[in-house]
Structure 1
Amino acid sequence: MQQLESLSLEQQMPLVKNNAILVIGGAEDKVHGREILYTFFQRAGGQAAHIGIIPCASRDPVAIGARYQQIFEEMGAQAIEVMDIRERDQSEDPAWKTSLEQCSGVFMTGGDQVRLCGLLADTPLVEFLRQRAQIGELTLAGTSAGAAVMGHHMIAGGGSGESPNRSLVDMATGLGILPNVIVDQHFHNRNRMGRLMSAIATQPDRIGIGIDEDTCALFQSDEAFQVIGKGTVTVIDPSQVTHTNEPDVEATQPISIHGLRVHVLIHGDSYDLRHSRVIPATT
């Protein structure tokens, strides 16, 4: 990571096969430049890609699966499989392991993150997917709900536009792909700063990542990410917090957090989670 400051954006994040996890804030461009989706496609192997689409967060998995299938077909993917899982026992079918072994990229769509985890969490399918993603054997992307499930702790729901308080956020267990982060999506678009701060106040050993729409945090390891897209990624770092009243107040009372660090990153900026530092984009 120390070399990043002297490298260009292309050198920092070369478009190579595999070894990437894309955490997308939702509403990514599907029509015009398709920058984020095309980055996923290239990372998954380009025209040689074998892509699996997991649409089960959606209430209409057939339609959303078909939409992404069409997009990746237009890009030229060699093979695409929509993994249409409607019931939890389906995700325990050992045949999915065979499907995942063939995939160079897997894309989890938006919808309801609670539904997604309810169908996939602690199943052989997601265990195998997590293992392959973490060791860089495939490229994994999740958008909106598919992004929210990336951490061990997940924001399952809540409000927006309020000052931090425990009642503002509902927490649950995610899929643990990137266990050290808590992700919130559609971030500034839906005024979720207070919600993510509330989540971090209850889990001060994690890093909060708030991702705007049509914006992506691209991880090449679990220790650093780079921003791609039109919006911002907000990092909430509690490592230097000196005081919080979170354990002592009622659920609806405001939370005080002293020493909380907040960074706002744009396209090309990187963040080193291990050393808690921002690496600006090279101009």
Structure 2
Amino acid sequence: MAASRSCPAPKGKLLLIGGHESKGDEKSEEEKEEAENRNFTSMAVLQRLVDETGSRGPIVVIPTASSEPKSSAQAYVRAFGRLDAPKVEILDVRSREEANNPKIIAVLENAGSVLFTGGDQLRLTALLGGTALQKCLKKRYAHDGLLVAGTSAGATAMSTPMIYQGRDDAGMLKGEIHITTGLELLHDVAVDTHFVARGRIVRMAQILATNPACVGLGIEEDTAVLVTNGRDLEIVGSGLVMILDAKDCSSTNIHEIAPNTPFTLRGLRLHMLSGGEQFTLPIEPRMYA
């Protein structure tokens, strides 16, 4: 019998959050009305993070993506306090030197879960890519059962390919969207956030037109995807998740047209899932750590 060529599924889980998740601090009447109209389940996404972490260790908040890391991290410290999380620590990493610091790595080694805040995903990959911190993160996710969460840019950075720049959320024209290598906790999956609120379905389709072997995962605000076994999904929160699959597309002209020209993609498959739904991504888990 031939040996399997597939890699073992990672033991850890991912919690990919679409941004603007309820933190229990909606103060203005307008914010409260918006939450009510959208059927927010108060803090459901962050509550799931706390529940999944359990007593395994502290929730470690990494605000590296944010331009205001202190205030960003403190917002989550307050939110987790409302949820009675046993312990929350902040790992404020702002340079590649810090990402290779043994003291920083020791905190990550003892984490029960990790949360990457929003901001700019390119900051995450530029500062953390190839460092001891990234290697420890991948090792603990693959072998130790670590829960790794990210919101907005923090979620986008989990996967390869990673969206890192776009001149327009719409992404109708060839070349408007740029991709690079992410933190490599998910392979062959492109993650995008604020997906419905910012109308990002077309830009995701452009990414898939350039490589139909990838799957697109578009996550709406106050909504999350819990990933187990590297590909099994559970939807959490108040909004929708869209899964775009171009593996069976019949044709595209993305390779023929000039830059700044609208593209064609025929046969794109779309799934729309709400809270509580489950789905298995049509990919093979790949984890090298």
Provide the TM-score with structure 1 as the length reference: 0.86
Choose which of 20, 43, 56 in structure 1 pairs with 2:52. 43
- What letter is aligned with 2:59? I
Query: Does the CA-based 8 Å contact 1:160-1:194 persist in structure 2?
Result: no
Q: Is the 8 A contact 2:13 2:230 kept in 1?
A: no
Root-mean-square deviation (CA, aligned residues, Å) is 1.8
- The correspondence for 1:265, drawn from 254, 273, 286, is 273
Residue among 54, 70, 81 paired with 2:78: 70
Q: In 2, distance between residues paired with 1:128 and 1:217?
A: 23
Runs of at least 5 residues in structure 2 that lack an aligned partner in the other structure: 1-10, 26-41, 285-289
- How far residue 160 of structure 1 moved from its aligned partner, in angstroms, is 4.1
- Counterpart mapping for 1:67-216 below 5 A: 67-135=75-143, 137-160=145-168, 162=170, 164-216=172-224
Say which structure is richer in helix.
1
Q: 1: distance between equivalents of 2:213 and 2:279? A: 17
Q: Name structure 1 gaps, 5 residues minimum.
A: 1-17, 277-283
Equivalent position to 1:224, from 227, 232, 251: 232
Q: How does 1:21-40 map to 2 (within 5 A)?
A: 21-31=14-24, 33-40=42-49
What is the deviation of 1:180? 2.2
8 A contact 2:171–2:200 mirrored in 1:
no
Moved more, 225-234 or 93-102: 93-102
Q: Does 1:233 align with 2:250?
A: no
Aligned mates of 2:277, 2:218 — CA distance in 1: 14
Deviation at 1:228, TM superposition (A): 0.9
Letter paired with 1:25:
G
TM-score in terms of structure 2 length = 0.84
Check the 8 A contact 1:56/1:84 in 2, yes or no.
yes
Matched letter for residue 250 of structure 1 = A
- Residues of 2 paired with 1:154 and 1:64: CA distance? 22
Question: Compared with structure 1, are the counterparts of its residues 160 and 227 closer, same or farther at alpha carbon in structure 2 (3 Å cutoff)?
Answer: farther
**1:243 matched to 2:251:** yes
Deviation at 1:167, TM superposition (A): 2.3
Equivalent residue of 1:190, what SS?
A: coil
Deviates more, 1:145-154 or 1:73-82: 73-82
SS of residue matched to 2:16:
strand
Q: Residue 94 of structure 2 aligns to a residue in which SS? A: coil
Partner SS for 1:255: coil
With a CA cutoff of 8 Å and minimum separation of 6, indicate the structure with the bigger relative contact order. 2
- Structure 1 residues 239 and 161: CA distance shift in structure 2, 3 A: same
SS at match of 2:224: strand
The match for 1:281 is none
Tell me the matched-pair count.
Answer: 258
**Match of residue 13 from structure 2:** 20
Letter paired with 2:23: K
Aligned AA for 1:31?
Answer: G
Q: Is the 8 A contact 1:49 1:77 kept in 2?
A: no
Q: In the alignment, what sits opposite 1:280?
A: none
Per-residue CA shift, 1:227-249, capped at 9, x if unaligned?
11111111110110121111111
- Offset at 1:69? 1.4
In 1, the alpha carbon distance for the partners of 2:21 and 2:170 equals 26
Deviation at 1:130, TM superposition (A): 1.7
CA distance in 1, matches of 2:174, 2:23: 35
Partner of 2:264: 256
Query: What residue identity is the alignment partner of 1:38?
Result: Q
CA distance in 2, matches of 1:164, 1:134: 37
User: What is residue 7 of structure 2 aligned with on the other side?
Assistant: none
SS at match of 1:132: helix
Question: What is the SS of the residue equivalent to 1:164?
Answer: coil
Contact 1:104/1:137 (8 A) holds in 2: no
